[in-house]
Amino acid sequence: MHPCPGPRTAPDHARGPMSTGQRDPRLALLVDSIVRLSRGELSSRIEPSSARDEVDAVITGVNLLAEELEQVYEQFEKRVESRTAMLRQAHLDMMKMAMSDGLTGLANRVALMDAIEEALSLAENGDSPPALLLLDLDSFKNVNDRFGHDAGDRVLKEVASRLNQVVRDTDMVARLGGDEFAILLPAASLDIAMQVARRALEVLAERIELDNLNVHSRASIGVRVGTSGQNAEELLLDADTAMYAAKREGRSIIKVFEPVMLYSRQLRSQMATELRGAIASDELVLHYQPVVDLASHRILGVEVLVRWQHPVRGLIPPDTFIPLAEEIGVIHDLDRWVMTSSLRQLGQWRNDLHLDEDFQLRVNLSALELKQLDLVDFIRGLLREFDLPARCLVVEITETAIVTRGEVEMYSLLSLKQLGVGIEIDDFGTGYSSISYLRELPVSMVKVDRSLLAELDTRPGQHEFVAAILQLIRAAGLEAVFEGIETREQAQTLRDMGCSSGQGFYFSRPMPGDDMAALLTTTHHLRAEEHLEGARSTPSR
C-alpha cells in the first residue's frame, strides 16, 4: 500500500473554492486521486476543504470508496492466502497418497522405485550401493481363504509394523501389493542385508494374535545388493528372482541373488508357455501303477500318474510341472483332462477286460480343484457318461492341501463322499499332520508317504513308528494304503503289521495304458510266486 499522499497542513484548495472563472485546484487533485485508485493505490486520500461544498462531497465520497476498496482488497488477499495454503496441503496429501500404500501406510512401489534410483545415483558418486530385500508371505492366501479379507488386512498391517521394527529411520519398508513387501537399505553390505533379513524372519515367525485368531505368517526373502550401472528396475527384478528361488525352495528361506537364477527363471517361463499348449496339443500321457492287496497280491486297482511327452525334452515327470501348472493356473485344465481321459480308459477296460466290479481308479487332484464349485457336477457327469459306479473312483488329495479346510473345499469333499466317490489323503506324514483332523475330515483312506517306508530297515525305531501310524489311522476308522514299496521285505513287513494294500516298484512301476491293459489281461496277481513263498515262511498272521 502506498502511504497516504494527503498533506498534513491544509493546502491552498483546503482553504476554499476559487472565485468564479478560476479553475478549482481540487478538481485536478480529484482526477489525480481517481487515477491512483484505478492503478491499485488504495491508500490514496484527499483532504476535503473547509468549503464543504459539492466538490468536497465528491471528495468525501471518493475517500469512502477508497477505504471500502482497501478493506475488500485486504479480505480478498487473506482469502487467497488461506486458499493457497489449502491447495498446498491438498497437493502434499495427494503426493503422499500417490507414494504410500493405503492399507499399511508404508511406501508404495512408486516411492520405492524413486528411493532406489536415488540410492543408486548416490552410489555412482562413491557411496556404498543399496541393498534390496523382497519378502513374500508364505501361505497368506490361506489366511484370506480361511478367515476372510478383514483378517487378511489385519495380518498385513501387523506384518508392516513388525517390518518397521527391524529397520532404521533411513531405511524404507514398502508394500508392493498383495502379500509382497520390500526393504530398501540405502547403503549396505551383504552382511548387513542378511542381518536385517534374518531379523525380519524372526519377527514374522512370532505368532500373530488377532482377537481369537492365531496366525503364523512366515516369509520367503530374496536379497540383492546393487552393482554399478544397475537401474532400479534391474535391482528389483534381481531381488524378485532371488525371492522366487527362495519360495521354490520352501518356507522361511533367505536367498541371495545369483546370475544362474535368472537362467532357471527364464527356463521356467519358457516351460510355462509350452505347458499351456501341451494339453491342447495332446502332449500329456497317462501311466498307471497297480495298487495290490498285500495278503494275496491281487491287483485292486490302479493309480493314474500323468507325464508330459515333451517334443524336445522327452518324458517329463509330474513333480517337475505340476507345481508350475498350479502356479500359472493350468492345473484346472490338466486335472480335468486327466480325470476325463482316465475315467474313459477305465470304462473301456471294464468293457474289454472284464475287471472286478470293485476295481478302483485313483486320480490325483490338486487342492485348488476342490475350490471349484462345479467339480462334483463334473465328476458326476463323467461317471454317467462312461457308465461307471462312483465307488470305482478314488480321488487323492495331498495332506497339506486338505488340512486347510476352507468352506468350499469342505463342501466339495462332502459332496464327493455323498456321491460315493472315495477320498484319500495322499503323502500322509509329510505335511502338518494334526492327529485330530483325521477324524474330522470326510475321507475314507490314507496313503502313507513313501519316505516313511524308505527308512523302515535303516532307521532305529522306524518299524515301531510305522506300526504306530498304521494303528492311528485304523483308530480313526480309516483304511491305510502304503506307497513306495520297493522290496519284498517291506511288502512282508507291512502285511505282517496288518496293512491291507499298497503299491510300489516291487510290484510294478507305473506303465502306459496299453501295457497296463496287457498286464490286466494276463494276470490278476503280481509277484504271485514270491507271495506264495512269503506265505509259506510266515504261515500265520
- In one-letter notation, the amino acid at residue 472 is L
Site for ligand C2E in 469-498 (CB under 6 A): 483-486
Stretch that binds ligand C2E, among 57-65, 110-118, 151-159, 502-510 (CB under 6 A): 502-510
In whole angstroms, how close is the CB of 484 to Mg ion at the nearest point?
Answer: 8
Q: Which residue in the set 305, 379, 466, 480 belongs to the binding site for ligand C2E (CB under 6 A)?
A: 305
322 in contact with ligand C2E (CB under 6 A): yes
**SS percent in the chain: helix, strand, coil, step 5:** 50, 15, 30
Binding segment toward ligand C2E, per CB under 6 A, in 197-205, 311-319, 399-407, 528-536: 311-319
Q: Which amino acid does the sequence have at 333?
A: D
Contact 383, 389 (CB under 8 A): yes
CB of 338 to ligand C2E, least distance (A): 4
C-beta of 364: minimal distance to ligand C2E in Å?
4
SS3 107: strand
Residue whose Cβ sits closest to Mg ion: 396
Within 237-266, the residues that bind ligand C2E by CB under 6 A are: none
Closest distance to Mg ion from the beta carbon of 447 (Å): 5
User: CA-CA distances (angstroms) from residue 350 to 408, 519, 521?
Assistant: 33, 14, 11
Considering only residues 104-123, where is the footprint of ligand C2E by CB under 6 A? none
Other beta carbons within 10 angstroms of residue 519's beta carbon come to 18
Residues that bind Mg ion (CB under 5 A): 364, 396, 426-427, 483
Total of chain residues touching ligand C2E, rule CB under 6 A: 24
Is 357 a binding residue for ligand C2E by CB under 6 A? The answer is no
DSSP, res 392: G
* Cα angle for residues 150, 154, 155 (degrees, 5° grid): 115
Contact yes or no for 396/424 (Cβ under 8 A): yes
Does 409 contact ligand C2E by CB under 6 A?
Answer: no
CB-nearer residue toward Mg ion: 215 or 480: 480
Q: How many CB atoms lie within 10 A of CB 416?
A: 24
429 touches which of ligand C2E, Mg ion, none (CB within 5 to 8 A by kind)? none
Q: Which is nearer to ligand C2E, 144 or 289 (CB)?
A: 289
Say how far residue 480 (Cα) sits from the centre of its chain.
34
CB 305 within 8 A of CB 345: no
Contact window for ligand C2E (CB under 6 A) among 44-52, 226-234, 245-253, 504-512: 504-512
Reading the block at residue 381, the C-alpha cell is 457327469
Q: List binders of ligand C2E among 412-431 (CB under 6 A).
A: 426-427
Shortest Å distance, C-beta 393 to Mg ion: 13
CB of 94 to ligand C2E, least distance (A): 48
Shortest reach from residue 362's CB to Mg ion, in Å: 6
Pairing of strands 422-428, 393-398: parallel
Of 505, 512, 528, 538, the one binding ligand C2E by CB under 6 A: 505
DSSP state of 211: T
8 A C-beta contact, residue 303 and residue 281: no
Contacted entry of Mg ion, ligand C2E, none for residue 317, CB cut-off 5 to 8 Å set by kind: ligand C2E
Query: Rounded CA gap, 349 and 354, in Å?
Result: 7
- Between the alpha carbon of residue 490 and those of residues 11, 344, 428, 524, the distances in Å are 128, 34, 18, 21
Measured distance CA(293)–CA(273) in Å, rounded? 42
Binding segment toward ligand C2E, per CB under 6 A, in 238-246, 361-369, 375-383, 520-528:
361-369
Sheet holding 180-185, edge to edge: 172-177, 180-185, 131-137, 219-225, 254-256
Only one residue has cell 485368531, namely 213
Contact region for ligand C2E (CB under 6 A) — 254-262, 358-366, 414-422, 522-530?
A: 358-366
Indicate which of Mg ion, ligand C2E, none lies near residue 422 (CB less than 5 to 8 Å, by partner kind): none
Minimum gap (Å) between residue 124 Cβ and Mg ion: 54
- By CB under 6 A, name the one of 178, 317, 323, 381 that touches ligand C2E: 317
DSSP result, 9-75: S--GGGG-PPPTTS--HHHHHHHHHHHHHHTT-TT------TT-SHHHHHHHHHHHHHHHHHHHHHH
Which one, 5 or 318, has the nearer CB to ligand C2E? 318
CB of 162 to ligand C2E, least distance (A): 35
Partner in contact with 504, chosen from ligand C2E, Mg ion, none, beta carbon below 5 to 8 Å by kind: ligand C2E
Using DSSP bridges, classify how beta strands 393-398 and 360-364 pair: parallel, antiparallel or unpaired.
parallel
Of the candidates 121, 205, 112, the one whose C-alpha atom is nearest the C-alpha of residue 163 is: 205
The site for ligand C2E (CB under 6 A) is made up of: 289, 305-306, 317-319, 322, 335, 338, 364-366, 396, 426-427, 450, 483-486, 503-505, 510
